[in-house]
Each structure stands twice: as structure tokens, then as C-alpha cells.
Structure 1
Amino acid sequence: MNSPITGTAAGVPFTALPPDGDGGENAPLIVTWHMLDAPRSDAAFAAALPMRGLPAWRVHLGMPMCGARMIDGTMDAGLALIREDVLMSFLHPFVVQATEEFPDALSSIRAQLPVGDGPIGVLGGSLGGAVALRVLADTQIPVFAGALVNAAIRMRSVVDLFPGDYPYGAESEKAVDNLDFLPQAAVIAERAPLLIVSGEQDHPDLRADAIRLADALGERSELLSIPGLAHPLAEEPGIEPAPQLPVAREVDAGLIAWFRHHLARRG
């Protein structure tokens, strides 16, 4: 079994898993963005959803202020941003930064690893799902297939998970609407087929959003419901790699089947 490769790509930490078996040279690339719930680092996400057996590189990118980018080795700075303004100081800028730093990170990955230069696969979990969706909706980076796991499809639903009534104003209304991907379903459908993995025990609004997005995408999507899956994919604290939970193994199997199918269609 190939060991993980760690490094940074244009300042973004990553954990890369080489293709299993032969074909590492110029193999296709699948890029992921992790959750801010457990697993909340690129290394932990790679352990939870390694997608072993695929003839593709899986490069798991670190989200801002997570994993190797934590300040003083803790999540305390991120928690302070949540207390300051959960949308405008935390959720929105994290998604924007992760999306905007991705093109340079992708170029750096291609310079460091023997990956192919064709369309990539994208995968995002929870808040990382909003990054994957933004790559699909707002960039021209070629994508052969995408996948989401318990994703932040409508940022308004995520904000509602935090205590209290959020005091929306003109700027925050614009920000939260820009991260609502249901109205962008037609654009996403044109870009790539999308697997939407939703835990049956996920937050009710996030699960409802997943079902609505699958309906809006129609034949360009597949909804995979996972019995017993709540929002996290790993046990706390979720920063270091940990043994794969049985419920994460079910998600992993669905992702492997999805990407294997679309890799085969690429030829």
C-alpha cells in the first residue's frame, strides 16, 4: 500500500495518496477539501476517506486555519472568529480563501507530483463541499466528476446551525446568497456529474438541501443516503489520522464506485 505524501502547494498543506497499483505517472487527479467538523484536517480526511483502489491521485487540501495552518497548534483562533461573526469572519472568508488559492495550489501540485493535466475530480465535505461547489459554479477549471459529503449547499442553512438569530445586513445577505448553490444548479449540471452523499442523521436542513440539489440537477446527479451517518465522519478531535469508522467506510465505498465509473468513462 502506498504511503501518504505530505507537503505544501502554493502555501496550502496537502496529504496526497498515490494511485494504487500501476499507473502513477500522469494518473488522473482527485482533489478534496475537508470538513470543519471531524475530520478537520487534510491528513484526517485522507484517513477517513482514502478512496483506495482508484487509479488516480487523491490530493487532500487543508482548509484555512486548520491542520498545519492552525494558529499555535489549536483551533482557538477559528473559534474566536466564530464568536466575532460566524458568517462574515469565519464561514464566508474560509470558503472564498480556499477557492481563490486553489488555482495556484493546483499548478503547484502538478509541478510536484506526476499527475495528468486533464480534467480533475473534486470532493468536499461539509464546509469543504461549498468550496467544491464554488469550483464548479464559479471557475473554469475542467472537472470530470464531483462529489459532496454532508455538504454546505446553502450557507444560510449552516448559519442557522449556530445559536441565536444571525443579524443579516446588506453585505451579509449578499455573502450568504453567493454561497447558495441551489440557484446555480443549471451551471453545476453543465460542468460535471455530481454525487451527493447525505447522512440520514445529518442536520435536517443540510439533508433537505442535499435532496433539493439532487432534484435540481436531475440526471446529472446521484443521491447516496447513508443510514446511521450524522454530520461528522470521524471521532473527535479529528485533527490527526484515525482508524476509519464503519460509517465512513460506507461513504468511502460510494465515492470509490462513483469516481471509478467516471474515470472509466474518461478512457
Structure 2
Amino acid sequence: MTVETAITGTAAGVPFVAVPPTGGAADAPVVLAWHLMDPPRTEAALAAALPLAGLEAWRIYLGLPMHGARFPGGGVDALMQLGFADAVLNLYGPISAQAAEECGPAYVELRERFGFRDGPVGVLGGSLGSAVAQLVVAGGAFDVAAAVLVSPVSQLEAVVATVGRMLGVDYPWSEPSLEVARRMDFVARAGEVATCPATLFVVGEEDDEQGFREPATRLRAELARREVVTGLVVVPGMGHAFAEEPGIEPAPQLPAAAEVDRLAVDWFARYLRPSLSRSGPGLPG
């Protein structure tokens, strides 16, 4: 991706980075992507970390609510303070819900602006962005042909427990926060997530096993039972994040991100549309 090819702006109030296919817009599919709360934590930073170079598709990176241009006053520090007060009700729940809800209007405006073809889309998300991708699939408003979930949130309760262990605190669950957890338990909602016929899980070798790797394995098994094509790749040396702090502006691609990018390009080339072009070696396994 170069500065010249990337288009930035807002659509239906959502900040975006759009990268057109090198072959032009005619008949090219679309990949919608959402970033992490950790680095890369903005749409521009994710576009630099995972440019999906060589994929003949529109790549649309959408900013999460309360991030980037929509950070609360005080930026990342203010966001973290909201998380310390109640991560589920202040951050995970409302951010994921709003991002999933605003995706449709943003997509409609972007399609009118850029002339996307009418057809199945791909979705890509990192951490909380992966939850948004799964909510979009489960919501049924889009025909999603392929998904790539990186450092995925598969079961919110497991993620909250992991964060609690890191901080030395126990999260005080309430009925409202448990309702959010049920909405973001994608293992329990596997029947809805299975409407996407091909899902790849990419996890870091150094990411927390109980919070991320084990739930991803459970979700993969549930999807496979429903005849979804699945893959799970553990990236050596990768933690949860795959960009350097602060992860707000575009930055040089780290080796782990380059491997995630390669895996994502290969997956979308296989399953978003078989005729899509791809470069580099194939997906292992």
C-alpha cells in the first residue's frame, strides 16, 4: 500500500482507509477490516500492518468507535481509565455493538462512492475487531464468504478473566455485563457464525492460551462440526498485538504482521473468490 493508492475519509460517520484493487474496481470483491484495541489500534495503523498486498480486492479498514479520530478526550489513557472502571460495559460491549451496527450504513455509502460490486464480502478483525467481524457475520446483513480472525475474541468471559489475571483483579460480573458476555460468546453462537463458509483463526504463539488460543480452538471445532472450512495457524514469536506502541499512526510492518498478512491474503484468495490473484507461498497445512 502506498500513500497514493490509499483513500481516507469518513462514511456514515465512520473513519476509514480504502485501498482499491490494482486492477481497478470492476468486479472486485470487498474485504472489511477492523483493528484491535491494542496496536495496531486505528484503521490507518491496521492498513499498514496488514495491507493485504497482492489481493485483487477492495480493502476497507474501518475505525472502531472510541478510537483514532473518535478517541475520548485524553486519548488512549482516557480509554484505559474507562476500562479500569468497567471494561465490559464501558468498552467491549458498546464498542463492538456500535461498530457492527454502523458497518451497514458505512458500507452503503462507500459502495455508492466507489462502485463496489454486489456480492459476497470478506471480513477481517483483530482482537475486539474480530468480535465485530463475527457480530457482522452473525447479524446476517452481509453475505460473508470468508473470514480471518486474528488474536480472536471467541468468548468474552475468557478474555475478561485473562485481563483480570494480568491486572490482579476479579471483574465484578452483573446481569448487564453477563448479557454482553452472552452476546460475545461465539462458541455458543457458532450456529450463527457458521453462516460464513470459511474461517481462518490466527493466534500468536505468545498470546494467552486460556483467554485466546483455547477458545479459538473450541470455536474452530464447533464451526468444523457445521461443515465450515476452517484453519488455525499459530504464528511463532507473536503475542496479542502485532504492531509497536503506540499503534496509532502507520508504522513499519513487523515480521509477525507480515506472516499474518500472508496468511490472510492466501485465505481470501482461496475462499473469497477462487479467481482472486495471490502471491507468495500457500497456507501451511
* Counterpart amino acid of residue 232 in structure 1: A
Shift in Å at residue 266 of structure 1? 6.9
Paired position in structure 1 for 2:246: 237
Distance 1:27 1:179, change over 3 A: same
1:176 maps to 2:181? yes
Distance 1:114 1:15 in 2: 16
Distance 1:190 1:33 in 2: 19
Shift in Å at residue 263 of structure 1? 3.4
Deviations 1:87-130 (A, max 9, x none): 11111111111011111011111012132121111011000000
Distance 2:266 2:39 in 1: 23
For the 8 Å contact 1:27–1:114, the answer to whether it is kept is no
Paired position in structure 1 for 2:68: 67
Distance 1:80 1:264 in 2: 43
Give TM-score, length-normalised by structure 1: 0.95
User: Relative to structure 2, which stretch is displaced further, 222-231 or 50-59?
Assistant: 222-231
Distance 1:237 1:185 in 2: 34
* Counterpart amino acid of residue 194 in structure 1: T
Shift in Å at residue 208 of structure 1? 0.7
Paired position in structure 2 for 1:197: 202
Distance 1:261 1:98 in 2: 27
- The SS at the match of 2:75 is coil
For the 8 Å contact 2:121–2:272, the answer to whether it is kept is no
Shift in Å at residue 182 of structure 1? 0.1
- The SS at the match of 1:195 is strand
Paired position in structure 2 for 1:41: 42
For the 8 Å contact 1:65–1:75, the answer to whether it is kept is no
* Counterpart amino acid of residue 35 in structure 1: L
1:224 maps to 2:226? no
For 1:70-81, list aligned pairs within 5 A.
70-72=71-73, 74-81=75-82
Paired position in structure 1 for 2:171: 166
Distance 1:25 1:264 in 2: 14
Paired position in structure 1 for 2:126: 125
- Residue of structure 2 aligned with 1:207, choices 213, 216, 223: 213
Distance 2:182 2:189 in 1: 11
Distance 2:81 2:109 in 1: 31
Distance 1:109 1:171 in 2: 34
Paired position in structure 1 for 2:144: 143
Distance 1:77 1:113 in 2: 35
- The SS at the match of 1:3 is coil
Shift in Å at residue 238 of structure 1? 0.4
Distance 2:130 2:272 in 1: 21
Shift in Å at residue 68 of structure 1? 1.6
For 1:1-80, list aligned pairs within 5 A.
3-20=5-22, 22-72=23-73, 74-80=75-81
- The SS at the match of 1:240 is coil
For the 8 Å contact 1:26–1:114, the answer to whether it is kept is no
Shift in Å at residue 37 of structure 1? 0.4
Distance 2:189 2:91 in 1: 23
Distance 1:114 1:26, change over 3 A: farther
Identity percentage of aligned residues: 44
Distance 2:74 2:67 in 1: 9
Deviations 1:12-54 (A, max 9, x none): 000111112x232342110001000000000000000000101
Distance 1:239 1:75 in 2: 10
Distance 1:192 1:266, change over 3 A: farther
Give TM-score, length-normalised by structure 2: 0.89
Stretches of structure 2 lacking an aligned partner (at least 5 in a row): 277-285
1:249 maps to 2:258? yes
* Counterpart amino acid of residue 157 in structure 1: A
Shift in Å at residue 264 of structure 1? 3.5
Paired position in structure 1 for 2:279: none
